[in-house]
Chains A and B, each alone.
Chain A
């Protein structure tokens, strides 16, 4: 579904990604882990071109999206993104946050978009907060809304950039629950996370990144029980 070939990214002289080649299959749940500064967030952000790759190509369902001629807005509609800091629009109500892109980008009618938004909000148990502003919600609620905001575009892939890292510990569970139910529905997901329990339970494949390369990849069970490389062993010894 997403094909990454020879991806490189440098900020000035600082090389963050060194030649990554990877494929993400439809319906797959890929979990990206690794120490901070290993390039895992940059890798994720390259997938929908929030960062412009220095070299390499990214192909989404057969189209090269790194080609300057391709209309990136069209592909971003199909790739939902959830950020570490939620990035809800603070000047809009929750409902407006959810319906903005469907009405403006997909050209949906207002009531149609609202009905869809309310249905999805109800699924995460927040339909009573539709008229609130983001600042009136807790962190966990904000992140659930942010997930719903991405889902309202009916994406084919969901990208999660450390979705629980900015949350108070007691709110991590509610967000992970939403992500798990999404995974059960068969959504293709790429998740950058520090939640090893989530990676083990939900992931089909774990990518371990270190120093701008994918140092090791395996099924979660194999990776967590028998890490092959020394770097992965050191990392797991610290976090588990």
Chain B
């Protein structure tokens, strides 16, 4: 191949005799083409996407459950007392406080080296840790959306005879979802980028791949720049999908 040939030729020349572009090319070749290393980045990328999706699902499910429990507790009929709901609300509060009050990396290290120290599946442990972390933030975003809606909306629903659950399902949640979509998108982007942290518990995602390539070639510029570009492209694709969704949900705003 052309690049291989060029690299062969250049590698004959002593390093200090190469001009700027020639030495740049040599470094890039080692970081990308040599021993099919580009495959490693894409393997890492695949893991990153996989971890993001798993963590996203865990985060959304946890977030919705926690938010529903807390809002149901806060909006119960005054004077009534439900011990189960109070207990669930208390647990949810502790969960959110602990997760938001400790650094993500510490949580991941506790997950990886303490709770699941015997597990070899670092990637899955990392995804679980990220999902649990994300759930706390997602629950607060959803709670904010549910609380911000005009109380008249749920009153109108209830006055028609719809139950609390039906009112939530048909009236409150669809409107709240539209309102929180920008913050939710933001949280998902943060989550996507935070998957890089699972490399500290040996999750084999892009940063892990980049670091091991750098360790072999003693040259870190290209591996990390390539990593950055990959994240950037992923986030841009995600933002684009989000804007499409937002446009579709805005249909009822037309006047």
Enumerate chain A interface residues (CB-CB to B < 8 A). 48, 50, 52, 68, 73-74, 76-77, 79-81, 83, 85, 87-92, 100-101, 104-105, 133-136, 149-150, 153
Supposing A52-B77, A100-B170, A133-B254 touch, asked if A105 and B152 sit within 8 A by C-beta, the answer is: no
Contact A91 B255 (CB under 8 A): no
- Give B158-195 as 1s and 0s: 1 = Cβ < 8 Å from A's Cβ atoms: 11111100100011001100100000000000000000
Which of A52, A81, A91, A153 sits near B178, CB closer than 8 Å? A91
A48 to B160, CA, bound (A): 10
A207 to B75, CA, bound (A): 32
The number of inter-chain residue pairs (CB within 8 angstroms) is 76
Q: What is the size, in residues, of chain B's interface with A at 8 Å between Cβ atoms?
A: 27
Q: Which residue of B lies closest to A50 (CB)?
A: B155
Chain A neighbourhood of B159, CB < 8 A: 48, 50, 76, 79-81, 150
In the complex, given contacts A104-B170, A105-B162, what are 19 additional A-B residue pairs having Cβ atoms less than 8 angstroms apart? A50-B158, A52-B79, A74-B161, A76-B159, A76-B160, A77-B161, A81-B156, A89-B170, A90-B252, A92-B252, A100-B160, A104-B162, A105-B161, A133-B253, A133-B254, A135-B255, A150-B159, A150-B160, A153-B160
Contact B252 A76 (CB under 8 A): no
| B78 close to chain A: CB less than 8 A | yes
Main secondary structure on B side of the interface with A: helix
Chain A neighbourhood of B253, CB < 8 A: 133, 135
Chain B neighbourhood of A133, CB < 8 A: 251-254
7 cross-chain CB contacts under 8 A: A52-B79, A87-B155, A91-B178, A91-B252, A100-B160, A105-B160, A134-B252
A154 to B171, CA, bound (A): 21
A202 to B80, CA, bound (A): 40
A77 to B80, CA, bound (A): 23
Q: Which residue of A lies closest to B156 (CB)?
A: A87
Contact A76 B158 (CB under 8 A): yes
Near A by CB (< 8 A), chain B positions 119-177 give 150, 152-153, 155-163, 166, 170-171, 174-175
- Give B8-24 as 1s and 0s: 1 = Cβ < 8 Å from A's Cβ atoms: 00000000000000000
A83 to B150, CA, bound (A): 13
A50 to B160, CA, bound (A): 11
Contact A83 B156 (CB under 8 A): yes
A17 to B25, CA, bound (A): 83
Chain A neighbourhood of B153, CB < 8 A: 87, 89
Chain B neighbourhood of A101, CB < 8 A: 160-162
Chain A neighbourhood of B78, CB < 8 A: 52
Near A by CB (< 8 A), chain B positions 96-126 give none
Chain B neighbourhood of A48, CB < 8 A: 159
- What distance in Å separates the Cβ of B161 from its nearest Cβ neighbour in chain A? 3
Q: Which residue of B lies closest to A146 (CB)?
A: B156
A112 to B253, CA, bound (A): 28
A120 to B93, CA, bound (A): 48
Which of A79, A89, A105 sits near B156, CB closer than 8 Å? A89
Chain B neighbourhood of A80, CB < 8 A: 159
- What distance in Å separates the Cβ of A93 from its nearest Cβ neighbour in chain B? 8
Supposing A91-B175, A100-B170, A104-B166 touch, asked if A73 and B161 sit within 8 A by C-beta, the answer is: yes
A87 to B171, CA, bound (A): 11
A52 to B254, CA, bound (A): 37
